[in-house]
Amino acid sequence: MATFIAIDAMGGDYGLEVTIPASLQALKDNSSLHLILVGDQDEISLRIQREGGEYSKRVTIQHASQQVGMDELPSSALRKKKDSSMRVAINQVKDGAAGACVSAGNTGALMATSRFVLKMLPGIDRPAISAELPTKLGTCYMLDLGANIEATPESLLQFAVMGAELVSAVSGGAKSNPSIGLLNIGEEEIKGNEMVKRAAALLSASDLNYYGFVEGDDIFKGTVDVVVCDGFVGNIALKASEGIAHMVSHFIKYEFKRNLLTKMVALIAMPILNRFKQRIDPSNYNGASLLGLRGIVVKSHGGTDVKGFCNAIKVAAAEVEHAIPAKIEAHLHNTFIDS
């Protein structure tokens, strides 16, 4: 069955330099994928004619006359950029032409526009940004990663429901009852602010597989399948982890280039080093889901490379395949309406 995804081709720090080759790579990797590339029709057409080859048959170009700047205010983008590549790509989802939208553009504008165009699922107050992170035991999902600087206990419960449904679906049933951890400054019940403590009480009373409080190091230990927090804490944790990954990679390269002996050792260790890089490379985990909307929107890091943006497209395709919004809505109905 064909999967159609709309791409904000003009968004991100590098625009078409990244989005076009990444889109073509995604088409190469998935024979059932069809892409709607949204943006300047002439520029996109020229690149597709030059680079598309056989994959151009599964590409549709949708013209958009405007772009949203990476530093543009969300309110301005919402009012003044109704024909932006971002807005038109989201409209493709609303109109049913695409099952998902992928953008590396302005996060605030993407969140505001998605919420305005697609609306929220019943029972959800605010959308949340969720992404997959590497752990010692595989991966976990974390949310919110920046959509909500502040959150209520009820919002954190909603985030937990959405995260649980996402993990259950994308795992293919391998994790039908994923464990949920609430990020805190300690595991003890007496620790944390009142908001976190109240959220813990709600999670304990829910039908979710609630593990309890987890600390920052638990994220990468793989203690739980889903880590829940507000967007302020989550975004800092995410950026810190990305920074550590780049720092470790930098130090390893530096040490192996110190002298002739270390360079020789590096050649011997190259297979191990490549596997290590693969496991911690942020590009392999690029693609954050905007959960809680009546449609699928995936946010790519603005400065990502071709590999990273291609992964974001794959994330969107997986969510379309597993009908994530419908499954979240069903769980929300059972949790907040039938209970």
CATH of the domain at 260: 3.40.718.10
Task: Check whether residue 73 and residue 134 sit in a common domain.
Answer: no
pLDDT at 66: 95
pLDDT at 248: 83
The answer to whether position 336 is within a domain reads no
pLDDT at 339: 45
**Among residues 146, 208, 144, which one has the least CA distance to residue 179?**
208
pLDDT at 335: 60
- The pairing of beta strand 33-39 with beta strand 59-63: parallel
Task: Check whether residue 90 and residue 103 sit in a common domain.
Answer: yes
Tens of pLDDT, residue by residue over 139-171, are: 899 999 988 888 899 999 999 999 999 999 888
String of b and e for 236-257 (b: at least 16 CB within 10 Å)? ebbeebeeebeeebeeeeeebe
Task: Check whether residue 66 and residue 181 sit in a common domain.
Answer: no
Q: Report the pLDDT averaged over residues 15-27.
A: 96
Tens of pLDDT, residue by residue over 36-60, are: 999 999 999 999 999 888 888 999 9
Q: Would you state the structure tokens that stand for residue 116, as one six-digit string?
A: 């305005």
pTM of the model: 0.89
Task: Check whether residue 147 and residue 175 sit in a common domain.
Answer: yes
Out of 283, 307, 333, a domain closes at 283
Provide the pLDDT confidence category of residue 190 given band limits of 50, 70 and 90: confident
**Between 61 and 277, the higher pLDDT residue:** 61
Q: Report the pLDDT averaged over residues 245-265.
A: 83
Tens of pLDDT, residue by residue over 196-253, are: 999 999 999 998 999 999 999 999 999 999 999 999 999 999 888 888 878 888 888 8
The answer to whether position 332 is within a domain reads no
Task: Check whether residue 18 and residue 56 sit in a common domain.
Answer: yes
Task: Check whether residue 169 and residue 273 sit in a common domain.
Answer: yes
Rounded to the nearest integer, the mean pLDDT of the chain is 90
Task: Check whether residue 38 and residue 178 sit in a common domain.
Answer: no
The number of CA neighbours under 13 Å toward the Cβ of 11 is 31
pLDDT over threshold 90, residue 254: no
**Between 3 and 270, the higher pLDDT residue:** 3
Instruction: Give the distance from CA 278 to its chain's centroid.
Output: 18
Task: Check whether residue 71 and residue 194 sit in a common domain.
Answer: no
pLDDT at 178: 94
Task: Check whether residue 107 and residue 184 sit in a common domain.
Answer: no
Q: How many domains does the chain have?
A: 2
The three state secondary structure string of the chain is: CCEEEEEECCCCCCCHHHHHHHHHHHHHHCCCEEEEEEECHHHHHHHHHHHCHHHHHHEEEEECCECCCCCCCHHHHHHHCCCEHHHHHHHHHHCCCCCEEEECCCHHHHHHHHHHHHCECCCCCCCEEEEEEEECCEEEEEECCCCCCCCCHHHHHHHHHHHHHHHHHHCCCCCCCCEEEEECCCCCCCCCCHHHHHHHHHHHHCCCEEEEEECCCHHHHCCCCEEECCHHHHHHHHHHHHHHHHHHHHHHHHHHCCCHHHHHHHHHHHHHHHHHHHHHCHHHHCCEEEECECCEEEECCCCCCHHHHHHHHHHHHHHHHCCHHHHHHHHHHHHHHCC
The answer to whether position 23 is within a domain reads yes
The answer to whether position 337 is within a domain reads no
Q: Report the pLDDT averaged over residues 116-134.
A: 91
Q: Report the pLDDT averaged over residues 66-87.
A: 94
Task: Check whether residue 26 and residue 79 sit in a common domain.
Answer: yes
The answer to whether position 330 is within a domain reads no
pLDDT at 242: 81
d(CA 154, CA 215): 21
Q: Report the pLDDT averaged over residues 79-102.
A: 96
Task: Check whether residue 31 and residue 82 sit in a common domain.
Answer: yes
The answer to whether position 55 is within a domain reads yes
Provide the pLDDT confidence category of residue 268 given band limits of 50, 70 and 90: confident
Contacts of 19 (CB under 8 A, 6+ apart): 7, 8, 9, 10, 11, 12, 37, 104, 309
pLDDT at 274: 73
Q: 76 is in which domain, residue-wise?
A: 1-124+292-325
The answer to whether position 235 is within a domain reads yes
pLDDT over threshold 70, residue 80: yes
pLDDT at 280: 66
Q: Would you state the structure tokens that stand for residue 42, as one six-digit string?
A: 């002439």
The answer to whether position 169 is within a domain reads yes
pLDDT at 331: 77
Q: Report the pLDDT averaged over residues 332-336.
A: 65
- Percent of the chain scored above 70 by pLDDT? 96
pLDDT over threshold 70, residue 299: yes
Task: Check whether residue 81 and residue 225 sit in a common domain.
Answer: no
